[in-house]
Amino acid sequence: MSLGEVPRTFFTADTHFGDPRVLRIDRRPFASVADHDAALKRAWNDSVGPNDTVWHLGDVLRPQAGSCADLLASLNGRKHLIVGNNDPAGTVEAEGWDSVQAYAELTLDGQLLILCHYAFRTWNQMGRRSINLHGHSHGRLKSVTRQFDVGVDAQGLRPVTLQEILARAAARTRRMGATSAPTKF
């Protein structure tokens, strides 16, 4: 990290490293699982620096794909896991996670974030403008105010920052013909 560079925080989910099903079911644009995995690793490491933090909101890799510890060692950043439905003991217990939990609340840039693998219908402090970040749905859920799918299928196959998520949401609101009043998430 260069002098004065501030570590950033990223979010991702549903990488499904080593899982051939995502090529078919999610129509990820790769000829093979090896191409898929190499592209996701490259996108991760091109986005995330060694001193950045990544919250992975579940479904990291297929158990038969190899060692989760080896995978984590090949990816930049300090990594936290929010456990997904496809994360077996080998993933949850792997060396390389700074923390592992099913749910987390995090305040980032003054914004309360509610993190879970699953999208919520309601969440803590929803009425006070908190934001729910989730995975699991592979970009297929209809958007809900202040709720965002951070899975790779919804985020250009790479981890994203809160600022990127909010900027995309604001741009989408403008495209949909919202009033000229600023959008506050």
Containing 104, the helix (H) or strand (E) segment is strand 103-108
Flag whether pLDDT at 6 surpasses 80.
yes
Task: Please answer whether residues 159 and 40 qualify as being in contact, where contact means their C-beta atoms are separated by less than 8 angstroms.
Answer: no
| Residue 66: per-residue pLDDT | 84
Please report where in the chains the tokens 């949850």 appear, as a residue. Answer: 92
In the chain the first and final C-alpha atoms are separated, in Å, by 30
Flag whether pLDDT at 173 surpasses 80.
no
| Residue 71: per-residue pLDDT | 97
Phi, psi of 161 (to 5 degrees): -90, 165
Amino acid, res. 55: W
Beta-bridged to residue 82, according to DSSP, are 101
Average pLDDT of the chain is 92
More confident of the two residues 168 and 56: 56
What average pLDDT does range 156-172 have in this prediction? Answer: 92
Q: What is the pTM of this model?
A: 0.91
pLDDT confidence bin for 181, thresholds 50/70/90: very low
| Residue 35: per-residue pLDDT | 97
Q: In the chain, which residue ranges form alpha helices assigned H by DSSP?
A: 21-25, 33-47, 68-73, 89-92, 162-175
| Residue 3: per-residue pLDDT | 53
Strand arrangement, sheet containing 160-161: 97-101, 78-82, 53-56, 9-12, 160-161
Task: Give the other-Cβ count within 10 Å of 162's Cβ.
Answer: 21
More confident of the two residues 64 and 89: 89
| Residue 9: per-residue pLDDT | 98
pLDDT digits (tens, 9 = 90+) for 105-144: 999 999 999 999 999 999 999 999 999 999 999 989 987 8
More confident of the two residues 169 and 30: 30
| Residue 2: per-residue pLDDT | 54
Residue 175 tokens, joined: 């495209």
For 35, the 3-state DSSP assignment is helix
Containing 116, the helix (H) or strand (E) segment is strand 111-116
25-29, 96-100, 168-172, 173-177: least confident range? 173-177
Q: Can you tell me the distance from the alpha carbon of 33 to that of 130, in angstroms, rounded to the nearest whole number?
A: 37
